[in-house]
Chain A
């Protein structure tokens, strides 16, 4: 292929890929500002006066499920950080018997099908009256947030030079002091990345929340799924719902964009 044609082809295909990747998102965001008549008209109305009607219609309902989602995600992330930080530190820096087995166990949780856990949880929660509660959903989320947190934090702790800790030890710091005064402050960027990645994973989770919540602890994805399963869907309202859902998530993702591949592949790729 001649060297003049190749760049042109690359640009053309890249343009196609970009349109393909963006169009579905742009389309529902745009449609959230249309009226119902504009939305069902063929050919589509490209130029129109945006209206906020759909947003007004969903606001109170959306606020409620939004708060549920973020409350549940916050609880799950907090719990897994509190429990996971010491474990990740010990697995990297200390002699633990069977550390390798524990790591394989943690890694295998990336693979396990959620459905294998959900049935017993459904039954336990029915008995313990935890169905449709925020803490109930948050606890189930630990099945993926905790392994994820430990595994990713291990990667970040390994990046901290061990010499820093050794010199602190020579200066007479105890192990607890080293963890809290030396290692933890150095881990802060890693902690933020892990917290955001787990946060987003919780906000996006659907299957667990769909089975374990009804009304009280309804999360955003569950609300969307329920509303679009009816026959007459209020498309504008749902487009507004979808738009409001993804804005904070995209914002969070941009902060950690360099680590997303690492998170999704469970650290296999340090993108």
Chain B
């Protein structure tokens, strides 16, 4: 039940267009004021040098200079690297684990309906609370994972969240924990859309589990996988809550993603033109990613 078409296909009644505009105008005005206007203003800011704590410098027009300096700077390169690790690892892990969960929960066994309502718990928890919960478990003093679970399987580490080696991966693990249910839900909907007769026909033909997966389940899930992937890439790219609460982007810059870097530039540095530039860069990245996915999705539905 994928809804990719816009409402053009819906039956519409003719006439009444003036009344229609009257109904829709408030939304257009508000949306314009809270989305288009700020975005245009952010672009304007990104073309000037503008530091809040230095009003004496004025705000001279610098063209694309902010983009050039920032894109070349070590801060950005480092944050980009960390963002790519964060996004790719958490996307791959949530997709694999989500697929596994969906396949499990799709089994029609006694009691599985209870499991189906429990496994979504992580995505119902406020992300900041999730981050706190994991920070609590990983903490050096009070953490049950750091002080009890890991030592009991023979792993002793001095610190987890304050270690440049593990901090980023702890954030990724947390992101995986709370984003997997969404992937599983989407793929579960996909699995339920594959008709039973197809499974049965394949079973009669003597298909192995792997063949079933490769030739029936994967093609049937294609659109669902793409939608899940799109949402996961977007959301992990925008991740802020988890990382900020767990590590503040640290230690040092070990878990400073683009979003964290942008935040620090804005709030600590008060370099609002640089922060706006980061915002616009992120917007372009997201735009590029979504164009690729939209192309993949529409190509699939043309077939």
Number of interface residues of A (CB under 8 A): 103
Distance from A3 Cβ to chain B, minimum over Cβ atoms (Å): 11
Interface string of A242-265 (1 = CB under 8 A from B): 100110011001000100110011
A225 touches which of B124, B128, B279 (Cβ 8 Å):
B128
Q: Are B3 and A270 within 8 A (Cβ)?
A: yes
A206 to B182, CA, bound (A): 20
Q: Are B38 and A120 within 8 A (Cβ)?
A: yes
A217 to B87, CA, bound (A): 32
A175 to B209, CA, bound (A): 57
**Any B CB within 8 A of the CB of A93:** yes
Interface string of A95-119 (1 = CB under 8 A from B): 1110110111110111111111111
Q: Are B101 and A17 within 8 A (Cβ)?
A: yes
Q: Are A96 and B129 within 8 A (Cβ)?
A: no
A112 touches which of B142, B189, B286 (Cβ 8 Å):
B286
Q: Are B109 and A211 within 8 A (Cβ)?
A: no
**A271: B residues at CB distance < 8 A:** 185, 188-189
A42 to B148, CA, bound (A): 6
Q: Which residue of A lies closest to B237 (CB)?
A: A113
A143 and B35 contact, Cβ closer than 8 Å, known pairs A102-B24, A225-B128: yes
Q: Are A203 and B126 within 8 A (Cβ)?
A: yes
A94 and B240 contact, Cβ closer than 8 Å, known pairs A28-B132, A99-B7, A117-B39: no
For the residues of B in contact with A, the DSSP-based class is helix
**A150: B residues at CB distance < 8 A:** 27
Instruction: Return the 5 tightest CB-CB contacts between A and B, nearest first.
Output: A94-B20, A87-B27, A86-B23, A221-B128, A116-B279
Q: List 24 A-B contacts (CB under 8 A).
A: A10-B104, A14-B115, A21-B181, A22-B121, A86-B23, A94-B13, A95-B13, A95-B17, A96-B21, A99-B6, A103-B6, A116-B42, A117-B38, A118-B279, A119-B45, A124-B38, A124-B41, A175-B19, A206-B128, A207-B241, A220-B126, A249-B125, A257-B117, A268-B227
A90 and B104 contact, Cβ closer than 8 Å, known pairs A95-B14, A249-B124: no
Distance from B285 Cβ to chain A, minimum over Cβ atoms (Å): 8
Distance from B209 Cβ to chain A, minimum over Cβ atoms (Å): 7
For the residues of A in contact with B, the DSSP-based class is helix
List residues of chain A with CB under 8 Å of any chain B CB.
1, 7, 10-11, 13-14, 17-18, 20-22, 24-25, 27-28, 31, 39-40, 42-44, 83-84, 86-87, 89-97, 99-100, 102-106, 108-124, 139-140, 142-143, 146-147, 150, 154-155, 158, 162, 166, 175, 203-204, 206-207, 210-211, 220-221, 224-225, 228-229, 233, 235, 238-239, 242, 245-246, 249-250, 253, 257, 260-261, 264-265, 267-271
**Any A CB within 8 A of the CB of B47:** no
**Any A CB within 8 A of the CB of B122:** yes
Number of interface residues of B (CB under 8 A): 101
Distance from A130 Cβ to chain B, minimum over Cβ atoms (Å): 13
Q: Are A224 and B227 within 8 A (Cβ)?
A: no
B24 touches which of A91, A104, A238, A253 (Cβ 8 Å):
A91
Q: Are B24 and A44 within 8 A (Cβ)?
A: no
Q: Are A44 and B23 within 8 A (Cβ)?
A: no
**B14: A residues at CB distance < 8 A:** 95
A206 to B227, CA, bound (A): 25
**Any A CB within 8 A of the CB of B136:** yes
List residues of chain B with CB under 8 Å of any chain A CB.
1-4, 6-8, 10-17, 19-21, 23-24, 26-28, 30-31, 34-35, 37-39, 41-42, 45, 100-101, 104-105, 107, 109, 112, 115, 117-130, 132-137, 139, 141-142, 144, 147-148, 177, 181-182, 185-186, 188-189, 209, 224, 227, 231, 234, 237-238, 240-241, 244-245, 248, 259, 262-263, 266-267, 272, 275-276, 278-280, 282-283, 286, 290
**A204: B residues at CB distance < 8 A:** 126-128
Q: Are A120 and B276 within 8 A (Cβ)?
A: yes
Q: Are B2 and A25 within 8 A (Cβ)?
A: no
Q: List 8 other contacts, CB 8 Å, given A95-B14, A102-B24, A228-B135.
A: A39-B142, A95-B13, A113-B259, A117-B42, A211-B267, A229-B245, A257-B117, A261-B182
**A31: B residues at CB distance < 8 A:** 136
Q: Are A267 and B3 within 8 A (Cβ)?
A: yes
A99 to B46, CA, bound (A): 31
Q: Which residue of A lies closest to B209 (CB)?
A: A1
Distance from B219 Cβ to chain A, minimum over Cβ atoms (Å): 18
A229 to B123, CA, bound (A): 23
Q: Are A246 and B118 within 8 A (Cβ)?
A: no
Q: Are B109 and A10 within 8 A (Cβ)?
A: yes
